[in-house]
Amino acid sequence: MDLNGALPGCSPGRWLPVRTGESGDRVYRREDGFAYAKCAPTTRALELAGERDRLAWLHGRGVSCPEIVDWRETEDGACLVMTAIPGIPAVELTGADLLKAWPSMARNLDAIHQLPTDQCPFDRSLSSMFQRAVDVVSRDAVNPDFLPDADKDRPAAELLARVERDLPARLHQEAASKVVCHGDPCLPNFMVDPDSLQCTGLIDLGRLGTADRYADLALMVANAEENWTTADQSDSAFAALFASLEIATPDRDRLAFYLRLDPLTWG
């Protein structure tokens, strides 16, 4: 899609390429820094429309996230223009600064978790994510880069079977603690003020939906651990996260289950 030709007032040079995501979407920043555009090919236009719908639903619900500026579809794909969330991605912080930003990051994620599930029209339940994993594995589309080192050489069908064995117990747990989840709360999706080290909001909400809160917490913890060089830092952050959520005894087996499932759902 020609971004400058597809959007109103977008003369050449006003939009600067930022990155091409793993999904194939292209991201642009408006030169004034106040808006971003995400452009998807035709094959992914429906998924980008899902992100648009989730942002529209979140608007006015007390969650700091982008607001929709414009939406366009052409025969070449679709483009979603959103307001920018100030700050830098948490992945760019040092381990020490990430530890300082961590409590406010937890509060921003919890703001999503506190939304009423009966008002959320988007489903990211364990059963739906498992079916997605079944589809990805059946197409031999698992991205080995998303797998932990110990699993990279194991057949995808074996990894799926391991998840399936635990499914009944995890479905029971989900029923007791279902919340509205972000769906992909990794460090690049938390924006942080580099001076105050306070989280300013969350981005990339295309996977938002009702799910077990542990699905979010597992990804947040695992991704952040890569930024801490000492066990003390990692242990402090782990304790602070669950204390802020008033979870007295974190279920590490449950966290591990969702870390086994998530890599099988991308593809």
Q: Which are the catalytic amino acids? A: 184
Q: Determine the Cα–Cα distance for residues 11 and 5; give it in Å rounded to an integer.
A: 8
Both tokens of residue 149? 């080192």
Residue 180 and residue 230: Cα distance in Å, rounded? 32
> How buried is 116 (Cβ within 10 angstroms: 0-12 exposed, 13-18 middle, 19+ buried)?
exposed
- Closest by CA position to 202, among listed 78, 66, 73: 66
Q: What is the dihedral of CA 264, 152, 185, 132, to 10 degrees?
A: 0
**CA triple 40-90-151, angle to 5 deg:** 70
Tokens of 257: 């289950």
Rounded distance between C-alpha atoms, residue 262 and residue 266, angstroms? 7
Q: Where are the alpha helices (DSSP H) in the chain?
A: 3-6, 45-58, 95-113, 126-138, 156-176, 213-225, 231-244, 252-261
> What is the b/e burial string over 5-37, where b = at least 16 CB atoms within 10 angstroms of the residue's CB?
ebbeebeeeebeeeeeeeeebbebbbeeeebbb
Nearest CA-CA partner of 120 in 179, 206, 39, 52? 179
